[in-house]
Chains A and B, each alone.
Chain A
Amino acid sequence: MELKDNNAGTGRKRNYFVSRRIDRIFLELYKIYAFHVRFFKEVFVPPYEFKEVVRQCYEVGVRSLPLISLTGFIIGIVFTNQSRPSLSEFGATSWLPSLVSIAIVRALAPLVTAIIAAGRVGSAIGAELGSMRVTEQIDAMEVSATNPFNYLVVTRVLATTFMVPALMIYTVFVSLMGAYLNVNQNELTSFTTYITQVFEAISFLDIFSSIIKTFIFGFTIGMVGCYKGYYSSKGTEGVGKAANSSVVTAMFLVFIEELLSLQIINLFRAM
């Protein structure tokens, strides 16, 4: 009899913890929803923090250039080099510029830019806002009747939303330059021929869809970094967690978005 009572107690406890866990999941989902709603409300409402947006654009864009340049250039060279053997089997190495340009414009440049931005910018945003939360700087803004969401979140999300597409265009440029270097060395293709082949291979839809895609990637990276930092738990451990989960969550979402956008773009191509 006693054993039965104990089991009943354990069961009740388990149910209690499960229901608390479910509550927390729904609460988290509601917080994410409310965070997005607040962003779209506040982005159109004054005061507009233009100066801070420009500063953040500099942080996100200009400061990412060295890493983007190096990565993009190397990817251009490596991708061309790795594609050559397959094409040469069919005697189609002259198609290399076309192949490379399609791959870079449609997939490689948007993804590489987003991954670099998630790693460099997303983690920085998560850590910065997280440490501001821990040291009560966000509370200090709030009690001095300044809207911290507008100053910290809206500005950063706008910066990532507009700078990631700009960085993607730059990545396309440096990757194509890297690819050209490789093609020129091996196939002795002239710059004019290379550029002609590159632009003949890609369509307006390729460029347009990649730009739209990277707007979404940029928005995601900014929102995730800001959300994780803004609601980071107290303590230095919370800052580390915010930075880390900003990168992991942003990358995860970027890949999901890439997959979804691929399906949507294929629908447009089929039309």
Chain B
Amino acid sequence: MKKINPNIIYDNKVIEIKGLKKAFDDFEVLKGVDLDLYQGENLVVLGRSGTGKSVLIKIISGLLTPDEGMVKVLGQEVDKLSTKELEQLRLKVGFSFQNSALYDSMTVYENLEFPLVRNSKSLTKAERDRRIHFVLDGVGLLQAINQMPSELSGGQRKRIGIARTLILKPEIMLYDEPTAGLDPITCIEINALINDVQERFNTSSIIITHDLTCARAVGDRVVMLLDGQFQRQGTFEEVFNSDDERVKMFYDYNFVN
């Protein structure tokens, strides 16, 4: 069980969402979602597959546009930004994809260098190398620097994916199903890495998952997305200390069965 981070600043909302709605054709995925993420906090968004968890963070990062509602990231309304402004904001928001989304035609080094070269043009080659080595060391995969993504295991790919987002020194991290498809031991390592990132890089994070072990290990606060809305929120215990059948079923499936 994770101890709540004492460095959370509750006066500073880094993400603020109000009345967010999103539908695909006739299917309404998000039906008026309200959410705040505080500085330094690890917030876990729990929910079954297809409930719109990934849609939520894709809207936060500007990959999708909301149908209704307001999404403010670091004080800026995402859907009202120009392309240039959105690019500037994205430098501060790291996104770790469910399947890592590593560029498969590039080595690990090139994967990390790619965003760095394009966004930090003033850096010399030596400075870029130093930063790449530092981040790879941080995720414990310095030895994989010259490997191709196809030569890495699922857990290693996740770590490199996280390293690639950390290379731009983001203030906010968005993790999409960080432990999906991994064995229990690797899951524990990834959970530790998420906490380590929060501590070392002083990030605020939203972690999307349906893995309750992950939620318990990394979440300062947990919210549960049911029927397109956040039904419960609080610490892990507060959320699951409930008579709601849907919540109980979720818990039982993870821990009892």
Contacts and interface: CB of A to CB of B under 8 A. Distances in A.
Interface of A: 47, 135-137, 139-147
A136 B98 CA distance: 9
B104 A137 contact: yes
Given A136-B101, A137-B103, A143 B164 contact: no
Contacts of B94: 143
Contacts of B97: 136, 139-140
Interface string B95-122: 1011101111000000000110011000
A140 B101 contact: yes
A144 B115 contact: yes
A144 B168 contact: yes
Nearest to A20: B25
A83 B137 CA distance: 69
Contacts, number: 55
Contacts of A136: 97-99, 101
Nearest to A49: B118
A145 B103 contact: no
Contact of B101 (A135, A146, A147): A135
B95 A140 contact: yes
A143 B93 contact: yes
Nearest to B25: A20
Given A144-B164, A144-B168, A146-B118, A135 B104 contact: yes
A135 B164 CA distance: 16
Interface in B135-176: 164-165, 168
B88 interface: yes
Given A144-B90, A145-B88, A135 B115 contact: no
B168 A143 contact: no
Contact of A144 (B62, B99, B104, B119): B119
B61 interface: yes
B54 to A, nearest CB: 10
Nearest to B165: A144
19 contacts: A135-B104, A136-B101, A137-B101, A139-B58, A140-B97, A140-B103, A140-B164, A141-B103, A141-B114, A142-B63, A143-B62, A144-B90, A144-B95, A144-B114, A144-B115, A145-B87, A145-B88, A145-B119, A146-B115
Contacts of B88: 145
Nearest to A139: B63
Given A140-B95, A140-B97, A146 B119 contact: yes
Contact of B168 (A135, A140, A145, A147): A145
Interface in B76-97: 87-88, 90-91, 93-95, 97
A147 B83 CA distance: 10
A110 B204 CA distance: 57
Contacts of B62: 143
A147 B88 CA distance: 12
A151 B99 CA distance: 22
Nearest to B91: A145
Nearest to B119: A145
B74 to A, nearest CB: 14
A178 B168 CA distance: 56
Contacts of A145: 87-88, 90-91, 115, 118-119, 168
